[in-house]
Amino acid sequence: MGKLLIVGTVAFDAIETPFGKTDKILGGAATYIGLSAAHFNVDAAIVSVVGEDFPQEYLDIISSKNIDISGIEIVKGGKTFFWSGLYHNDLNSRDTLDTQLNVLADFTPVVPEKFKDSEVIMLGNLHPNIQISVLDQLTSKPKLVVLDTMNFWMDCALEELKQVLKRVDVITINDEEARQLSGEYSLVKAAEIIQAMGPRYVVIKKGEHGALLFNDAQVFFAPALPLKEVFDPTGAGDTFAGGFSGYMAQQGTVSFHNMKNAIIHGSNLASFCVEKFGTQRMENLDKHEVQSRLQQFKMITQFDIELAE
């Protein structure tokens, strides 16, 4: 059973979509990553920070999925990171209404002793210096380091981001961010430039338009499952990253073949995440549903054309 170390936010979200509105609910990148990675045979731990206001029941939700939460620091008297967002009618764009860093402002991650030799490291979207600090604490070289990031860090911590990129194997990034980071509109060219920055594997997330995987001259594409209803896109990218890194930790071998399957598993799990508000759908998702939708993924993408010699 491979060890998977997840670093990222555990937070409160308040979400408004055309279909409804939530008060403060369980959110955060590491939460979504963990709930998704828990679908694989892995020994996972989250490194994060919350305030004293964070409900025990939320921590219980995470640990009930057999995720080690000893690396989630609880700051006495502190307040938990809070994000609030409003999605537009097409659900493809959103406005951030409020961001309160709170305890995240002074977060110094401490990797639990047991997970310092993890095979797979999933660095959720955080300041690049926090991501570097986690890598510095490892006692053995991981098989795979996966990094997620966003345009915010390209705007205000680009040099630090470039430093951490030199130390990762996989970057997951959305299409606009790939264009910003590379300065190229063509995603093929963007992926080439980003590979030269460090990560051998570049995963470009295109939301409802699927995800691309680049590795040297090899390319793989997975669609997003066409859904009748998308209720709340929050956490879809992190759920994708959780499925991706969870599968890779379970398999234990880094290959393009495994990476392709990891992309499919990530896309598959993300397709559930968006069906309900926040983490609701991921909290209650059983193996049969996951397998049955994987079958759908096969159906919609696999074909059989005989090629001439």
Residues forming contacts to a copy of itself in the complex (CB under 8 A) are: 89-90, 185-189, 206, 209-210, 212, 218-223, 226-230, 257, 260-261, 264-265, 287, 291, 294-296, 298-305, 307-308
How is residue 137 written in tokens?
């604490």
Name the DSSP class of 308. P
- Give the strand pairing for 201-205 and 211-215: antiparallel
CA pair distance 21, 2, nearest whole angstrom: 38
Alpha carbon distance 269, 3 (integer Å): 20
Whether the Cβ atoms of residue 243 and residue 265 lie closer than 8 Å to each other: yes
Decide the pairing of beta strands 218-222 and 211-215.
antiparallel
Both tokens assigned to 124: 């959720």
CA angle centred on 18, ends 12 and 19, rounded to 5°: 80
Angstrom distances, CA of residue 62 to CA of 31, 45, 165, 174: 7, 10, 29, 26
Total length of the chain: 309
